[in-house]
Amino acid sequence: MKTVTYASIKADEAWGTVSQHLQRRNDLLTEATNFLENHPSDHVLAGRIVVLQYHLRSTVRQLVRQSTTFPPATSVDQQLNRQWMVVHQMHYLLRQIDDQLLAFGRQSPALRNWREARSLRKRVRPVSKLSLN
C-alpha cells in the first residue's frame, strides 16, 4: 500500500492546477487565433499565436518525455522532488505564455479588448496569481 502524505497530496494538487491552467491557455490560444482570423490587420499576430501554441504543446510533450526517461524513483522524497520539478517547469512555461499574450495585446488593441472581455466572462487568472505552495 502506498503511503499518502500531506506533501504528496500537495504535489498532486499542484500538478492538477498547473495541468488545468495549461489546458486553459491552450484553449485561449485557439480562441485568440480564431478571433484574429476575422481581423485582416492582425493575421501576422494570429500566426505568431499559432507558433506560441505549438511551442506550448511541444514543450509539454518534451517535459513528459523527460520525466518518463528518469530511472525509477528509489524513495518517495525523490518521486515528490521530480514531480515538483516538472510542476515548476510547467509553471514557468505558463508565465512565459502570459507574458507573450500581454505583449501581443500591446501590439493589437482588438486582441487586448477581446482578451479583457473574455477574462471577465471566463475568469482566466494569470499564472502570477497562482500559488503552488
pLDDT score recorded for residue 35: 92
pLDDT score recorded for residue 1: 40
Amino acid occupying residue 60: V
Going by C-beta distance under 8 Å and a sequence separation of 6 or more, which residues neighbour residue 30?
53
The length of the chain, given as a count of residues: 133
**H and E: helices and strands count for the chain:** 4, 0
pLDDT score recorded for residue 87: 92
Residue carrying the nine cell digits 514557468: 92
Amino acid occupying residue 57: R
pTM over the 0.75 mark: yes
C-alpha to C-alpha distance for 83 and 76, rounded to whole angstroms: 11
Q: What is the DSSP letter of 75?
A: S
Residue carrying the nine cell digits 518534451: 62
pLDDT 10s digit of each residue in the chain, 133 long?
467 888 889 989 999 999 999 999 999 999 999 999 998 888 999 999 999 999 999 998 998 888 788 788 788 888 888 889 989 999 999 999 999 999 998 999 999 999 888 877 766 555 665 556 5
Burial classification of residue 133, based on how many CB atoms lie within 10 Å of its CB (0-12 exposed, 13-18 middle, 19 or more buried):
exposed
